[in-house]
Amino acid sequence: MNTKLHRNEHGITALETAIILIAFVVVAAIFAFTVLSTGTFLTEKSKEASYAGLQEVRGSMELKGGIVLSKTTALADTLIFNLAPVAGGSSQDLSKVKITYRDKNFNKELSYSASTTVGTDNWIALDLEQTTPTALTILSAGKIAKIIVDPPTAITSYQTFGLEIKPPTGGVLLLERTAPAQIDTVTDLQ
């Protein structure tokens, strides 16, 4: 018998080569799938973040003009200003907007009233497009609302105060002013 033939095998057979090739292809396929899945996941997450940022911006409001301090009596004041959605912004439900008055003595959230007359510690929104005062609940794109706020205290000379306006979606609008030395019946706070 020829035993020399079986004793000296140094090469690889075609079957072993095929098994190694298939193993490399499977590993490469798994790696490619993982990379593609991760890329797709990250793309979706970045798209979600972009849309969330866009929603925040679209929900924001801006001040149109200045703030006027109106002294109705020696002990009662109202703050009057105009608000509008930012350019390209979405409509805002004003009944869900929170306005907080803040000064060195007070930090108070004021109540929204769907009335045309402002009461103690609340605020109202009026439709500027109407000839007679009409309460405004939905501030839609392109509209301007006249906001009248009754602060919890009378505003005195040199007093610094702030109004924090928080819509349900979008950025917070902070209006901070200091009253001048002389306060008239109607004082423009710029």
pLDDT digits over 2-59, tens only?
A: 555 555 556 667 777 888 888 888 888 888 888 888 888 788 777 777 666 655 554 5
* Nearest alpha carbon to residue 84 among 142, 12, 39: 142
Mean pLDDT (the chain, rounded): 82
Distance, in Å, from the CA atom of 132 to the CA atom of 7, rounded to the nearest integer, reads 109
pLDDT mean over 147-151: 91
Beta-carbon contacts of 10 under 8 Å, excluding residues fewer than 6 positions away, are none
Burial of 167 (0-12, 13-18, 19+ CB in 10 A): buried
| Confidence band of 92 (pLDDT split at 50, 70, 90) | confident
pLDDT digits over 54-73, tens only?
A: 555 545 788 888 899 998 76
Which residue's structure tokens are 């190694």?
Answer: 20
pLDDT at position 115 over 90 = no
C-alpha of 136 from chain center:
21
* pTM, full prediction: 0.67
Q: Cα dist. 171→36, 44, 167, 168 in Å?
A: 36, 24, 7, 9
For the chain, the 3-state helix, strand and coil shares in percent, each to the nearest 5, are 25, 35, 40
